[in-house]
Amino acid sequence: MPQPRIPLFLDCDPGIDDAIALGYLLCQDDVDIAGIAASGGNAPVEQTTRNALGWLQLAGRTDICVHPGADRPLAQDADYALETHGETGAGYARLPLEGLPPSDTDAAHAWAAAARAHPGELIGVLVGPATNLALALDLEPRLPQLIRRLFIMGGAFNYRGNTRPTTEWNVTWDPEAASRVIAAFGQAYIAGDAPYAPVMAPIEATEAVVMTPERLAKIRSRGDLSPNRTPQWSTWLDQLAAALRFYFEFHEWDGHGYLAHIHDPYVLAAAIEWARQAETTGKVGRAGNDRDPFTTIATDELRVSDESIRAVEPDRREVMARGDTTPVPWAETTQAAVDIELTGTLTRGETVADWLGRWNRPANAEIIRRIDAESFLDNLTEALQKGPGGPTQP
């Protein structure tokens, strides 16, 4: 029986850890890349778009579309993390300067088109600011029903920030966009219009995922896992090492030691592995809810009436009706009501979770609290060491 395909849309702002995520994605042969969106964030959008294109071209994947996105947040001026990722957003890496052009379709329209093309199946992964997806919601309000599940790298819950004292970079870059996305996807889950809560991976969890020079050397080595590695992929890894050298230096300057927190690849990998496990085990839907989550996205009772949504396979309908859930891989999670602070003079952009139920609101997000970083990093190491050519073992 052929392995199920996983359609996935990645929204990123490359960025050095974004580049690792892109490399990991290219190594997953059972994933159909429905598109890659670039956002302003770690660098201006023109640069992040060039970086995404450059990393893809370096890997020989000129078939993948990169969709340029928003150049500024919805309600504030843009800021960039050039001290963290370098003037080009790629550290010391030298990426191709000419060649692969960006798509004529902007990121917001690309989100909407990908979701319509894969109703109920598309995995959405957001590892940059939420601006593109927020704008896509204006174009297609049904996105929370069309997208199978959304995975978000962002936030800091009761934790010191990496941008302001209590805030994380992606959310801080565009708090209004993050608020809009969490509200839309969370409300769809609460209402029963979508079977899954959005997953949030905040920095207090993802900072456990640490790249070291020793692990990087293992990735670049030619061991038993990489007998068929191509010279092209070795060149790709050489440039990733150059990018990471800058990232190591920044983290050392910032007081963390000569290492790098690599948030983004974990979130992407968790999304892919979650989709694989959901297909394999048939655990689809929400825990503790006696409503058929399929019905909420597949009948005329609710807002979504698109014929393509109602065409999901009948055998999946039976699976979804059971109300089982598939855990987020390599993680311990909890559900809570989440909101974004938009007006605080000291805390604008802070993600707030109502752990004690004081708001009397239902949970609208699944929050990753702890990550089995070593197990994930072993998976990442294996994937990058092998290079494109097959999925790794979980």
Task: Return the active site residues.
Answer: 263
The three-point CA angle 265-266-270 to 5° equals 120
CB count within 10 Å of CB 173 equals 29
- Amino acid letter for position 370: R
Name the helix (H) or strand (E) containing 11: strand 6-12
Contact 14, 55 (CB under 8 A): yes
Non-local (6+) Cβ contacts of 173 within 8 A are 40, 41, 73, 78, 79, 129, 131
Tokens of 18: 């974004």
Non-local (6+) Cβ contacts of 40 within 8 A are 13, 48, 69, 70, 71, 72, 73, 78, 80, 129, 131, 173
The three-point CA angle 271-276-281 to 5° equals 125
Contact 114, 257 (CB under 8 A): no
